[in-house]
A and B are shown apart, each in its own frame.
Chain A
Amino acid sequence: MSNRIIDWAKNNKIYILFFFFVLTKGLLWTWVIPPFLAPDELPHFSYTQYLAEEKEIPKNSPGKISPLHPTLSEEAEKSSEFLQHNKTVLSLGHMDFPENIQRTPEGFQTYSRNVSKENYKNSAAIYSPFYYILEVIPYVLGYNLDIFSRLYLMRAFSLFFLFIALIFSYKIALFISKENTFALIVVAIIALMPSINASSFGGINNDAALIAFSHILLYYLVKILDNLDIRIWSIIKNGILLGLALLTKPVAIIFIPLTAGVFMYKGFKKNEIKKTALALLGVFTIAAIMSIVFYIRLIDSIINGSSNEISQTKNIFAIENIFLAVGFDIIRKFFLATSIWLQLQFFDRFYPFYIKSFIFALELFGLIGLIYLAKNYFNKDKDAPQSGQSPYAPLVLCIAAFLLISGFYTFLYYKQALMSHYYDFAWFGRYYLPVIAPIVIIMLFGLKKIFHLIKISEKVLYIGLLIFFLFLHNYAFFNIALQYNYL
């Protein structure tokens, strides 16, 4: 038995090394971001505290809700004041560090943890309790500790979701490329991205569960492209996965058309349209049964909430209104092109120009490579017999996933921009992380194509990307996160 374990460890040295590397790196990131300064962390912490202390799902009272000012327990209120949350949360500065620094704050054990239900407001309370129930586990494990210890314990729990996301990103990449090194590079890029470390898995945020379950679902969708299994168990499994993804965050609705597309594509291919449509109906029914209650709540809160004040503009389609919205959308997309990789609190702007330029160059060459791949596809002899699955189908799935999430946020952006003259929506790269494996895969396929065209070994590309993303990670950690949060 012990020999078998040693053999396994010897054969899987890279995975073991990678596991401990991601773990230490992940812990450092959760420790380096100051408490409550990860994106929307205070509302997410408060939701979990409400569940644990009041033992019921929080419900918002009517009226305007601000993510900056959720209803807090006395304990959370005091710690937020102590950490100068209001001063630092939307700031390019950091909290004050007096000369005689008190390392561990005292007195926090005595404050009440109960949350007032009267006039309760929390921007996170529109979500289902799925993620927050899981976060109750570390909260309860650290129940006898002070709020800061509990917060760091809850953050560390996010790493569990990071590992799920990385494992399934690896599986997706391996399934598509059939190449182990390609899959390792994909997963290394994802693990090293500053946005992954600082935004979604560096704090308490339901994005962590969304990204993890999105990647599980994406893996099974890629597998369906290879072999559509419409037996009962398979339908139940896909239905549950879609339901769980929908329970994490509403943006997961992009997986409804994606699932439908994959099923129907296979149905057409196998000439089993009716059977496939019935299987799809089964998948959707299971997912709907699991999540519909929370979507009704969400729609209700959108209808009854006053956060979407409609502008007094007579015609929302007035030409100036459209021009302004389109202009801001172009700037937004330009900003997103780097923010997807670099988002780190509000400190994105402190990255040097050469890093941003290199990322733009990677994206541009990736896109050019994809255009060449598309050209290859359309030029090839369609009548030629094909053995097995077309290698293009999973790539199209990856592109579709990216376009769907992009379309979803673009729709919401234009709704807010045209109706409310609100242009600040969806500027954050972290919003795209639920489909980060597809994004990295398509970029890497595009870059591979370019390297084929210029006849340079892919080894150069892989080593170059590995060094760049390791550099990027360390630059973000030392020169952005540490520098701007503490100095």
Chain B
Amino acid sequence: MITDKNILKINRLYTLTILAIMISLGFPIINFLFFSPYYDRSGEWLHIPNQAKKEIYQGNIALINQHIYSISRNLARITIQARWRERIDMELSLMNDEKHIVRRTIKPRIIGNKIIWEFTPLKDSSNKTYDLIIINNNQEKKTVQLSLFPTNDKNSSIKINKQILEGKSLAFFIESKFTGPKEKIITFYKRILTYKPALIQWLFFPTLTLFFILFIGGLKFAIKIILTDDEIPLGGKDDL
């Protein structure tokens, strides 16, 4: 029988279920689609064994030159591990193969021991090499502390004050940026099915859809069970 009390209970169940779906399913999907646009990270920093072999470099640093290789288009962010106390005296630039400066900044973000330089994506950066140039304009040059990693690639060796440090690379990684969620979905669709057996390629998206259906149905059912379980104490009762 539908009574006012029942309607109230049903309303409470639906409101709670919708809220729970928004938090537990809606937020992660929206975050994935709209708020994490960076992709294709690459750089020596990402190789975990390197992190144990990290070396701190501190000296009179005026100029740093690091060769970088971009695996994909839309190169848009460089993260460097370094302690740089005076951000105002820093100048970062990116030079292409033809020795043209394609991006430049004097105001990167500094978070802890990370320098994060975000710039307008370089559309044609796929499979191209660049030189990352960092100029320290500070007279007290010891304000800079760099992290270096070992590298087997000769071209990746860092130059500090025009001197090559063989087999050592700046601790950094680069990332590209999607222009929008549509591009992200297309790239994701291509990649998720890569190197998978035909059956999984065929089943992946139907299974994902089934997961969403079961998720919503199961969540509603679970909330209903909790709300209607009269054995659950209302608080204050000590069962142990």
Contacts and interface: CB of A to CB of B under 8 A. Distances in A.
B46 A92 contact: yes
B1 interface: no
A456 B235 contact: yes
Contact of A152 (B42, B187, B200): B200
B235 A392 contact: no
Given A184-B225, A459-B232, A479-B32, A90 B47 contact: yes
A181 B229 contact: yes
Nearest to A18: B218
A24 B49 contact: no
Interface size class of A (residues with CB under 8 A): 35 or more
Contacts of A104: 195-198, 201
A86 to B, nearest CB: 10
A355 to B, nearest CB: 11
Contacts of B218: 17-18, 21
A486 interface: yes
Interface in A89-131: 90-94, 96-97, 99, 101-105
A456 B236 CA distance: 7
B232 A34 contact: no
6 contacts: A97-B191, A99-B126, A145-B197, A463-B20, A478-B32, A479-B36
| Chain B binding surface SS class | helix
B31 interface: yes
Interface size class of B (residues with CB under 8 A): 35 or more
B20 A467 contact: yes
Contact of B196 (A94, A152, A477, A487): A152
B222 A487 contact: no
| Chain A binding surface SS class | helix
Nearest to A104: B198
Given A21-B214, A452-B236, A483-B39, 4 more contacts: A28-B207, A93-B173, A104-B195, A479-B28
Interface in B157-214: 173, 184, 187-188, 190-201, 204, 207-208, 210-211, 214
Interface stretch (A54-62, A304-312, A468-476): A468-476
B231 interface: yes
A451 B52 CA distance: 44
Contacts of B155: none
A457 interface: yes
A103 B193 contact: yes
B240 interface: yes
Interface in A138-152: 145-146, 148-149, 152
Nearest to B206: A24
Given A20-B214, A458-B232, A101 B191 contact: yes
A470 B226 contact: no
B232 A486 contact: no
A97 B190 CA distance: 9
A471 B27 contact: yes
Interface of B: 16, 20, 23-25, 27-29, 31-32, 36, 39-43, 45-49, 52, 71, 126, 173, 184, 187-188, 190-201, 204, 207-208, 210-211, 214-215, 217-219, 221-223, 225-227, 229, 231-240
A451 B200 contact: no
Nearest to A473: B24
Contacts of B173: 93
A220 interface: no
B74 to A, nearest CB: 12
Nearest to A423: B52
Nearest to A13: B221
Contact of A90 (B16, B20, B49, B190): B49
A449 interface: yes
A462 B36 contact: no
B220 to A, nearest CB: 10
Given A14-B221, A92-B46, A376-B238, A483 B32 contact: yes
Contact of A146 (B23, B197, B232): B197
A473 B214 CA distance: 14
Contacts of A145: 197
Contact of B232 (A377, A462, A479, A483): A462
Given A17-B217, A93-B41, A452-B238, A184 B222 contact: yes
Nearest to A445: B240
A30 B42 CA distance: 25
A482 interface: yes
A206 to B, nearest CB: 23
Contacts of A105: 195
Question: Which has the most chain A C-beta neighbours within 10 Å: B28, B31, B71?
Answer: B28
A454 B210 CA distance: 40
Nearest to B30: A478
A188 B24 CA distance: 14
